[in-house]
Structure 1
Amino acid sequence: MERKKQPVGTERLASAWLGAAGIQTEAPCSQAVQLDMSANAALAKFTGGLSPAALSNAYVDWLLHFQLAPAEQAGLLQKAWKNLWRWSQYAIAASATVPAGAGHCIEPLPQDRRFADPAWERWPFNLIAQGFLLNQQWWHRATTGIPGVSRHHEDVVTFTARQILDMLAPSNFISTNPVVQEDALRSNGLSLVRGAQLAMADLLQLTTGHTEDETFKVGENMAVTPGKVVYHNHLIELIQYAPSTAQVHAIPLLFVPAWIMKYYILDLSPQNSLVKYLVDNGYTVFMISWKNPLTEDRDLSMEDYRKLGVMAAIDAVTSITGATQVNGVGYCLGGTLLAIAAASMARDGDQRLASLSLFAAQTDFTEPGELSLFIDEAQIGFLEAAMWEHGYLDGKQMAGAFQLLRSNDLIWSHRLNQYLRGVAENKSDLMTWNADATRMPYRMHSEYLRQLFLHNDLAEGRYRTDGKPIALTDLHIPLFAVGTLTDHVAPWRSVFKIHLLTETEVTFLLTSGGHNAGVVSPPGHLHRSYQIATRAKDGPFLDADTWQRDASRQEGSWWPAWEAWLAARSGKEVGPPAMPPSRRKAPGLYVLQP
């Protein structure tokens, strides 16, 4: 099914923007909207897409309520004097002959490794580090718990303060970092020279998009599981992977990855490929590869992604294999879309889905984690303006937002090790994939943020497909949901809410790791563990914390546990289905689009 191209006009786009915001207006007013959006789009280039209005609203809310809380002010003043006293006592002790590290006035958080090197125990760097940590603690106290401040605004103010402090941390500067100074002395300054070279290489890549590092390359040592593109339309290529076993399960497997990422996170280098793992275990695997949208794709909607994506793929899979049912697997945003498609099919009596597996995919967005920092009316309106000129959200902007959520790990530690210490990162297939950013179409991204994140329409029964509402309570097929323990994109407690939204059998698995590394967890991967438990159909509800306390814990990869669940729902073993003739081999063309 090919999507008809529509004429793109600024008046129609302005009207669509007003409609998305719930505003009805006459056509001439759209010119004023065009001017406003153009101005905001220009401003967004300087703010990285962050809305000054959203930040100001949060700051004013915090500041006004802080002014109305004299007890809080007094408490913070007392805390400041107490911290100053603790730091001065530590300074006196540190000046004497005291064992390194003895009597610290504050310890860093467990995940904070900036001051872990023994060099930070030497004077005066120990004083600098302790003073910074005390200051960081004070600012956290100052930005949280102020009576009357909305939870969202408190989170925004706390996040902003943390970003500023992370930027000003003494570990980021040569003059206040003893480890950097030691490296420079040992190498006669060569570490700083190498750091400058690495910084220039990154700057070149940022400005030109070109990189000389081709350690991992799509189609050469990543995304190399043999297969063919067996169907394509304006939005997707559908890859069918060649069988590697004499017999396969009768029910094929369809993967719906997120279009916020390239599909090959599920088919990285062979030792990290979930696709290869499944093919080698006797499954017929199909994979959607999404087009990287361009300006002409600005009007692609969530409905287009459902119809041209999931539904078109299911039609193709059943036609090619002759199977009457398909096991659906969705990852991240692709899992949310697959859940929407599954609920639509259930509503309409379409029984072609045998089971549903959702990896790090949210269906309820009341607690979306730190991404909620960027989700309110002011921010979404500003983001829509930022997308206005080109018709899409640039992938680099999206990647930057995710990096901010973990700025210590993804920004400052990277710059410290590379630019100040001259230590080049060991590239991995997952890091290469993570840098391969994709774009988001204007209309789809606006609908996704408003209908799901902002209004939570899917969980609350207001989301519509084909003009009719859907509900996840209509699902009566077995469901397997995977959450990852340290996920900052789809927090596992949010993923767990699928229990509240369905009455079907739900097997929930919680694995160690984050949003990406937790999912890419092949057998043999060190330091991996998971918990798993099944709620029977119509079984009683169990809250997330009780579930975590009681669920059985297993060491190792979660892939075999899911594969065992999947095998029981994939039918008997048969000869592999024929693959249609195709001149286009995997990984196809869409995944290679810059």
Structure 2
Amino acid sequence: MHAEPTLAPAGPAPADVPLQLILARLANGISPASVLLAQADWLSHLAVSPGKQAELAASAWHKLLQWTLYAGHSCYGESSVCIEPEPRDKRFAAPEWSWPPYRQLAQAFLLQERWWAEAGAGVRGVSRHHEEVAAFAVRQWLDMFAPSNFVPTNPEVLEKTLRSGGANLTGGFSNLWLDAVKLVANGSPRGVERFAVGRDVACTPGRVVMRNRLVELIEYQPSTARVDAEPVFIVPSWIMKYYILDLRPQDSLVKYLVGKGHRVFIVSWRNPDGGDRDLGIEDYLQLGIVAALQAVHERAPGRKVHCAGYCLGGTLLSIAAAAPQTGVPAAMATLTLLAAQTDFAEPGELGLFIDESQIAFLENLMAGRGFLDGREMAGAFALINSRDLVWSRLVHEYLMGAETPMTALRAWNADATRLPARMHSQYLRGLYLNNDLAQGRFRVAGRPVSLADIKLPLFVVSTEQDHVSPWASVYKIHHLAEAPVSFVLVSGGHNVGIVSPASGPAAKPEAHYRIATSPAMGAPTDPQAWKDAAPVVQGSWWPVWHAWLRAHSCARVPAVPVTWPVDDLGTVEAPGTYVHQR
């Protein structure tokens, strides 16, 4: 089998690599040239747009007058505001921010944010991508200098400092020092030791039943007397450790499925190193899906398989499902996609980091080591939501002197993986930059892949606040695959929305979802129209998926314990060996 995504240009000159490595570490893996080009595009077009300049000058004057009137009235106790923060902006929500002069300071900052948003939008001649990147860069600077980030301008911090005699700042310095030491030593964040893999997380009983140079395949021990005849085969993304789907027993999707009478297999990807630099999408298809699915068939002969893929694992699985030459479609009973895109024309805020400059920068970075370090990728993801993931944490831990409790999900997120250079370049160019899969240009075994060839029943899950796979982008599968689609839109983000226990102490009271099943090509073209028509249902989406799998299964059969050793080393218990690689 041979996959032929868009080819990358020639690699970097060896002399370029050391500087690129330094820049990448300073910029969290983001190309400075990409940001500068966007800002230059915006600034040069703004400079020759006197109409826009006049509009911005008038807006600035109006906002100054608005704030001046507000500041005067608020001195006499009036509680109205001149601008409301965005619904998700909680920086100024505490009662202390109602004290003067801090409420006036917060209002001035929010008006400034609004002005910069106006300045970055609607400048004639600026490309949409550059407009978004320039706005992102400005947002980073504004978030950095928000009054909530500094002791003298944050009344919450001042109040706690006075009440504790400065103990919060002492504790904050201690937290800062510990984090700095761990950063220099490439250590793990504080508290992750409480979530050891195989002891506290990834502890559902099972065994490794197949291993090759890229994956281990885990089969879980049944916990019911009878199981569905069709096994469930799960492919997580290769940019994450698989056990996000098998966290603690109370929030493990794997354990939930096993407890409901499903025979579950899951892929655990090997953490590649410099020696794997030439692994490509071809290898991930052949060794990761085709070989693992063949092993599932050896374990469950004569049975079709419910295949499920999470994030890019779902994208890869959809490629295999659309390519008869892989033999995968004939083996599948159904296809489930969890927060997985197949059309990358609108990848959301992640698209800020996808252009020729950015990809070339990453290729230069990977050329020296043969892989992309997961910590660099995590840094870029953190910047997308820096207000919550960076600056709120700074205030909470370094100014307030508190500790953010380590959770199983945060510990998993810190368990970074690496990406082989060739594969990472291929999927960034072929999928994100050129959108070859949705456009029918992605080739497998020399033949173009068409998602319209997917005829299987589809169960597709998306999340409302997903920064990685925006739900409106995931929704496009309705008009790419000629298959009936049960589409589910769940509360939460890319990870929290998927990890949604149905009951017990980890269940989320606020969890809800929308669901509707459409015939092939029968869903509304507009995602918002679909959302408006689908009623909200309280609770977890897990029971809905279980019921859907059960409805697409042919029979219940006696459960058989897993007793097959993987090789001459003997039986390897779950979670296997690859998941422990650092």
TM-score range (shorter-chain normalised) is: over 0.9
- Find the counterpart in structure 1 of residue 534 from structure 2: 551
CA distance in 2, matches of 1:484, 1:93: 42
- Find the counterpart in structure 2 of residue 21 from structure 1: 8
What are the within-5 Å matches in structure 2 for residues 56-455 of structure 1?
Answer: 56-95=36-75, 97-99=76-78, 102-208=79-185, 209-210=187-188, 213=191, 214-345=193-324, 350-455=329-434
User: Which of 537, 543, 547 does residue 520 from structure 2 map onto?
Assistant: 537
1:43 counterpart = 2:7? no
- Find the counterpart in structure 2 of residue 589 from structure 1: 577
1:475 counterpart = 2:439? no
CA distance in 2, matches of 1:155, 1:349: 39
Q: Deviations over 1:502-541 (max 9, x none)?
A: 1111110101111000001111321011111111135365
Q: How has the CA–CA distance of structure 1 residues 191 and 173 changed in structure 2, closer, same or farther, with 3 Å as cutoff?
A: same
Q: Which moved more, 1:445-454 or 1:86-95?
A: 86-95
Q: Deviations over 1:77-115 (max 9, x none)?
A: 1111111112222222233x314xx13221211111101
- Find the counterpart in structure 2 of residue 52 from structure 1: 32
> Size of the alignment, in residue pairs?
569
Q: Deviations over 1:262-312 (max 9, x none)?
A: 101100001100000000010110010001111101111011011100111
CA distance in 2, matches of 1:339, 1:56: 36
Please say if residues 238 and 313 of structure 2, whose CA atoms lie closer than 8 Å, have aligned partners that are also in contact: yes
- Find the counterpart in structure 1 of residue 553 from structure 2: 570
Name the aligned partner's letter for residue 139 of structure 2.
R
Q: Deviations over 1:521-574 (max 9, x none)?
A: 111321011111111135365421111111232110011111111111122010
CA-based RMSD: 1.9
Please say if residues 41 and 388 of structure 1, whose CA atoms lie closer than 8 Å, have aligned partners that are also in contact: no
- 1:149 Cα deviation after fit: 0.9
- Find the counterpart in structure 2 of residue 6 from structure 1: none
Name the aligned partner's letter for residue 358 of structure 1.
L
Q: Which moved more, 1:485-494 or 1:209-218?
A: 209-218
- Using the size of structure 2 for normalisation, the TM-score is 0.95
CA distance in 2, matches of 1:284, 1:231: 16
Please say if residues 38 and 385 of structure 1, whose CA atoms lie closer than 8 Å, have aligned partners that are also in contact: no
- Find the counterpart in structure 1 of residue 568 from structure 2: none
CA distance in 1, matches of 2:237, 2:30: 23
Q: Deviations over 1:12-48 (max 9, x none)?
A: xxxx99x93346xxxxxx7x73334454344333333
The percentage of aligned residue pairs carrying the same residue is: 50
CA distance in 2, matches of 1:176, 1:348: 63
What are the within-5 Å matches in structure 2 for residues 458-497 of structure 1?
Answer: 458-497=437-476
CA distance in 1, matches of 2:190, 2:108: 41
Q: Deviations over 1:225-258 (max 9, x none)?
A: 0000111110001100000000000110100000
- Using the size of structure 1 for normalisation, the TM-score is 0.93
- 1:436 Cα deviation after fit: 1.1
Please say if residues 380 and 446 of structure 1, whose CA atoms lie closer than 8 Å, have aligned partners that are also in contact: yes
Q: Which moved more, 1:493-502 or 1:37-46?
A: 37-46
Name the aligned partner's letter for residue 500 of structure 2.
S
CA distance in 2, matches of 1:84, 1:553: 42
Name the aligned partner's letter for residue 114 of structure 1.
R
Q: Which moved more, 1:573-582 or 1:541-550?
A: 573-582
- 1:335 Cα deviation after fit: 0.3
Name the aligned partner's letter for residue 440 of structure 2.
G
Please say if residues 320 and 580 of structure 1, whose CA atoms lie closer than 8 Å, have aligned partners that are also in contact: no
CA distance in 2, matches of 1:538, 1:167: 46
Structure 2, gaps ≥5 residues long = 566-570
- 1:202 Cα deviation after fit: 1.7
CA distance in 2, matches of 1:351, 1:460: 24
Name the aligned partner's letter for residue 78 of structure 1.
A
Q: Secondary structure at the match of 1:174?
A: coil
Q: Deviations over 1:39-75 (max 9, x none)?
A: 4344333333222221122111111211121111001
- 1:379 Cα deviation after fit: 0.8
- Find the counterpart in structure 2 of residue 7 from structure 1: none
Name the aligned partner's letter for residue 343 of structure 2.
D
Name the aligned partner's letter for residue 87 of structure 1.
W
Please say if residues 321 and 578 of structure 1, whose CA atoms lie closer than 8 Å, have aligned partners that are also in contact: no
- Which one scores higher on RCO, CA 8 angstroms, separation ≥ 6? 2
- 1:425 Cα deviation after fit: 1.1
CA distance in 2, matches of 1:323, 1:268: 31
- 1:259 Cα deviation after fit: 1.1
Q: How has the CA–CA distance of structure 1 residues 349 and 329 changed in structure 2, closer, same or farther, with 3 Å as cutoff?
A: closer
Q: How has the CA–CA distance of structure 1 residues 85 and 109 changed in structure 2, closer, same or farther, with 3 Å as cutoff?
A: same
CA distance in 2, matches of 1:578, 1:112: 51
CA distance in 2, matches of 1:380, 1:473: 29
Q: Which moved more, 1:522-531 or 1:355-364?
A: 522-531
Please say if residues 511 and 529 of structure 1, whose CA atoms lie closer than 8 Å, have aligned partners that are also in contact: yes
Please say if residues 231 and 237 of structure 1, whose CA atoms lie closer than 8 Å, have aligned partners that are also in contact: yes
Please say if residues 204 and 210 of structure 1, whose CA atoms lie closer than 8 Å, have aligned partners that are also in contact: no
Q: How has the CA–CA distance of structure 1 residues 51 and 480 changed in structure 2, closer, same or farther, with 3 Å as cutoff?
A: same
Q: Secondary structure at the match of 2:123?
A: coil
- 1:440 Cα deviation after fit: 0.9
Please say if residues 322 and 329 of structure 2, whose CA atoms lie closer than 8 Å, have aligned partners that are also in contact: no
Q: Which moved more, 1:239-248 or 1:116-125?
A: 116-125
Please say if residues 218 and 224 of structure 1, whose CA atoms lie closer than 8 Å, have aligned partners that are also in contact: yes
Q: Secondary structure at the match of 2:430?
A: helix
CA distance in 2, matches of 1:186, 1:453: 51
Q: How has the CA–CA distance of structure 1 residues 200 and 532 changed in structure 2, closer, same or farther, with 3 Å as cutoff?
A: same
Q: Secondary structure at the match of 2:176?
A: helix
CA distance in 1, matches of 2:413, 2:297: 32
Q: Which moved more, 1:162-171 or 1:207-216?
A: 207-216
Q: How has the CA–CA distance of structure 1 residues 349 and 107 changed in structure 2, closer, same or farther, with 3 Å as cutoff?
A: closer
Q: Secondary structure at the match of 2:456?
A: coil
- 1:212 Cα deviation after fit: 5.6
Name the aligned partner's letter for residue 558 of structure 2.
G
